[in-house]
């Protein structure tokens, strides 16, 4: 579920919440999701305020389900409409250096472009932004699972991450093992 936090509450919870951990939340507000601003396939979203309470759960791993992906083959992305949201898994067959650009609004943005390949025989460029770009491995050919990537088009289809995208390097899954075997076997 998407959870939004604003102003002072955002500062407070930013220091307390870690990606991938499980939390118990009370005094939050649930409402219908605004599909314009979310990449998640969920009818609801949550917002927190200064009155909200967030506590780390004692049941961190086995009690909670893993991230649910709905992977599409890279070859099928060419048929997807621009601005649609997809989950994709592929081998990072190319990894650019991190670069910084200035947006039209004057904000400094960090980006990295990956070339993703899968066993459909297709490849696609995927741009990741911000902290996700800075912390992505510089070398190798890792298998990468990307959730909530936006289909963009500039001469050809490509993918772009947003704040709601999730990027998992070398996921522990059957799909990742299959791609690793395909790539290591000559791709």
With a cut of 80, say whether residue 14 has pLDDT above it: yes
Do 144 and 114 meet the contact criterion of CB atoms below 8 Å apart? yes
Strand partners, 116: 92, 124
Give the CB-side neighbour count of residue 75, counting CA atoms within 13 A. 5
* pLDDT per residue as tens digits for the range 80-93: 999 999 999 999 99
pLDDT classification of 115: cutoffs 50, 70, 90: very high
> Mean pLDDT over residues 169-181, rounded?
95
Average pLDDT over the chain, rounded to whole?
90
* 2-56: CATH topology: OB fold (Dihydrolipoamide Acetyltransferase, E2P) (2.40.50)
Do 52 and 25 meet the contact criterion of CB atoms below 8 Å apart? yes
Rg (CA), the chain: 18
With a cut of 60, say whether residue 41 has pLDDT above it: yes
Pick the CATH number of 74-184 from 1.10.620.20, 2.40.50.140, 3.20.190.10, 3.40.50.920: 2.40.50.140
pLDDT classification of 61: cutoffs 50, 70, 90: low
**Angular region, 46: left φ>0, alpha ψ -120 to 50, beta rest:** beta
CATH 2.40.50.140 residue spans of the chain: 2-56, 74-184
């Amino acid at each position: 579920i998407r959870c939004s936090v604003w102003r002072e509450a955002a500062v407070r919870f930013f220091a307390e919440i870690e990606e991938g951990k499980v939390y118990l939340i009370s005094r939050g507000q649930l409402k219908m999701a605004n599909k314009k601003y979310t990449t998640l396939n969920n009818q609801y979203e949550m917002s927190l305020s200064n009155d909200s309470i967030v506590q780390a759960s004692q049941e961190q791993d086995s009690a909670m389900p893993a991230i649910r992906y709905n992977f599409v083959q890279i070859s099928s992305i060419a048929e997807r409409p621009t601005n649609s949201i997809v989950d994709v898994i592929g081998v990072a067959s190319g990894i650019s250096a991190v670069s910084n650009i200035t947006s039209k609004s004057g904000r400094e943005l960090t980006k990295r472009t990956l070339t993703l390949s899968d066993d459909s025989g297709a490849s696609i460029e995927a741009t990741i932004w911000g902290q996700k770009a800075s912390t992505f491995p510089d070398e190798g050919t890792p298998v990468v699972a990307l959730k909530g990537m936006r289909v963009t088009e500039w001469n050809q289809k490509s993918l772009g991450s947003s704040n709601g995208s999730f990027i998992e390097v070398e996921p522990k899954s059957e799909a990742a093992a299959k791609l690793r075997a395909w790539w290591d076997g000559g791709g």
